[in-house]
Amino acid sequence: MGSIAGKQITFAYGYDDAPTLNGVDISVKPGQLVAILGRNGCGKSTLVRHFNALLALQEGELSVAGIDVRDEAELWRLRRTVGMVFQNPDNQFVSSLVGEDVAFGLENYQVPRSEIPGKVSAALEMVGLAGFEERSPHLLSGGQKQRAALAGVLALEPEILVLDEATAMLDPVGRREILAAAMDLRMRGTTVIMITHIVEEAIPADLVFLMNEGKMIAAGTPEEVLTVPELLEQAGLAPPLPVRLYHDLRTAGIALEHCPLTAEALAEELCRLK
Amino acid sequence: MNSQLTGQYIPGTSIMHRMDARAKFSGFLLLIAAVILTGTIKGYLLTISFILIIAALSKLPPEIATGSVRRMLPFFFVVFLLNVLFFESETPLWQWGIVTISIDGIAQGANILLRIVLILILSNVLTLTTPPMALMAAIESLMSPLRFIGVPVGDVSMILSVAVQFIPTLLRETDDIRTAQTARGAQFESGKLLDRAKALPPLLTPIFLSAFKRADELAVAMEARGYRGGKHRTKKASQPMPVSGWLALLLCAALCALQIFLF
């Protein structure tokens, strides 16, 4: 249920190309909120596209929700188990009406027509778009569009949800809406995998994987990964501002008790100094 | 850019909104035939009245129902002018070389213009009152007999509906690229004709590249949501055509018959 276990995953797009993934290991427990961090082109999206066999596994082993991704007989069950929301919401809609678009996945899995309206309404309600069935996706805000795309995936009740840079094209409000929806899903027991190059988005995660040039260079809790500037810099990323301040203060001779990840935690640490 | 694009569905509860999409689409085809068959003033009066009643029943704001008509006025002017100046007539009012002005030419120009305007209003009412997916389902339903000769009707319908829903996105993108290139000195609306023609390839290349990229991303997103061809999907509910649909079709067919046999 919602687990991912991968060993030595290696993948190259062309025979002569350098591998995009080079011996990647990953282990995720059911119900975890996981962030896969790394700069553009480091292999994050390539990795997650193996989770529902959008890309065929070339080398290594990968089992998702107990299904071997190489098992072709299980391909469509695997795709239903792993829902995926992509970066650009405009490139995910197949219909000019939100309700019909959310129903698309259900129709692909031959859900009886009588059950579809109920499932569509429930999925829209889950993302805070109740009653949007008759609206055109193109007239929604960026955050609403992405939530509508998310509803299209949630209607299939996936055990694992992959957000492949789903916040990258959104403004801060839209980004907050999607992150709130991801947190809500985690509370309901869905395994959520967030692909991002925005370090701050990884802070609420249970587990952070850091990738660079096709390799997994670190894995651990946000406190273990995001508070080490050297690791993040190796991956081409900047540490969160409170972490930078913590280290700057330390260099200046002011030692805080813990390295804070958020502004609130930093304020608490500073108050303790008194 | 306008948020409401030409031909984009406007939700509503009018009789035309509620009418069965199959009846609407078939009736639309019959009415086009009636417009083309109309050739007399009596015939036109009947056809125009019929189409105006349909437009009124749709409860669409007149400026939206006739939006595309107003946008095409320059085209109408050219069509009318060509007919007026070059229609061959045995009773010309004025002649100079190949240019002939006659009552017949003016009547022919007016006739063609009226037909185009009526067909545009009809197509506006159809697309503005019918959700694209319902329209595609109607076309799929009407094409369904072609399944027996191996035509993949479900896939054709999906291709059509995806194409329709991508129009606003591509128009918005065209607008963005056009604005960006205008900011860099491209001339699309002013300057000599040659300069404007030269500005087009740099506009079309990114539009095509972007369209292919979007198509690729959409294909991946569809696959991720379990799409594997039309025949594996939930079957469309094959509901019988309601009585109102048959009545509407009967009226459209009667109008066609009147144009053929009476006028």
Q: Is the dihedral of CA B110, B112, B113, B117 positive or negative?
A: positive
Q: Test A95 with B158 for CB contact under 8 angstroms.
A: no
- From the list A52, A94, A116, the residue facing B162 with the nearest CB is A94
Give the residues across from A211 on adjacent strands. A216
> How far apart are the CA of B234 and the nearest CA of chain A, in angstroms?
4
Which residues on B lie below 8 Å from A108 (Cβ)?
Answer: 225-228, 232-233
pLDDT in tens, B109-151: 999 999 999 999 999 899 899 887 788 788 888 888 888 898 8
Report chain B residues whose CB lies below 8 A from the CB of A54: 220, 223-224
Nearest-angstrom CA–CA distance, B21 and A257? 69
What's residue B17's pLDDT?
Answer: 93
DSSP summary character for residue B237: P
Q: Is the pLDDT of residue B41 over 80?
A: yes
Q: Compute how many other C-beta atoms are within 10 angstroms of the C-beta atom of residue A10.
A: 15
Pick from B73, B155, B169, B76: which is nearest to A96 by CA?
A: B169
Domain boundaries, chain B: 1-130+239-263, 132-232
Q: With CA atoms as reference, report the closest residue to B131 among B52, B237, B251, B16.
A: B16
Query: Which parts of A38-94 are beta strand (E)?
Result: 59-64, 67-68, 82-85
pLDDT at B164: 74
For residue B5, pLDDT beyond 60: no
Is the CB of A79 less than 8 angstroms away from the CB of B214?
no
pLDDT of residue B95: 79
pLDDT tens profile B79-120: 889 988 888 877 778 878 888 888 888 988 999 999 999 999
Q: Residues with Cβ < 8 Å from B105, sequence gap 6 or more?
A: B83, B84, B85, B86, B87, B89
Q: Give the predicted TM-score (pTM) of the model.
A: 0.76
Residues of B within 8 A of A80 (CB-CB) are 226
| pLDDT at B6 (0 to 100) | 54
DSSP letter, residue A71 = -
In angstroms, the separation between the Cα of residue A105 and the nearest Cα of chain B is: 5
CA distance, residue A78 to nearest chain B CA (Å): 10
Which residue in chain A has the smallest CA separation from B211? A91
Q: How many residues does chain A have?
A: 274
Q: Which among B8, B140, B170, B225 is the top mutation candidate for probing chain A, defined by the most A β-carbons within 10 Å of its own β-carbon?
A: B225
Identity of the residue numbered B226: G
pLDDT for A217 beyond 90: yes
Which pLDDT does position B236 carry in this prediction? 67
A-chain residues within 8 Å CB-CB of B218?
Answer: 91-92, 94
Q: What is the mean pLDDT of residues B195-202?
A: 76
Give the ipTM of the model, two decimals please. 0.86
pLDDT digits (tens, 9 = 90+) for A35-88: 999 999 999 999 999 999 999 999 999 999 999 999 999 999 999 999 999 999
- Measured between alpha carbons, how far is residue A39 from residues A10, A13, A210, B202 in Å? 19, 19, 9, 31
Taking CA–CA distances from A85, the nearest residue in chain B reads B221
Residue of B nearest to A48 (CA): B224
Residues of A in contact with B214 (CB under 8 A): 88, 90-91
pLDDT value for B2: 44
Give the mean pLDDT of B224-234: 85
Cα–Cα distance measured from residue B251 to residue B162, given in angstroms and rounded to the nearest whole number: 32
DSSP string, B16-67: HHHS-HHHHHHHHHHHHHHHHH--SHHHHHHHHHHHHHHHHHTT--HHHHTH
Average per-residue pLDDT for chain B? 85
**Residue-level pLDDT at A47:** 97
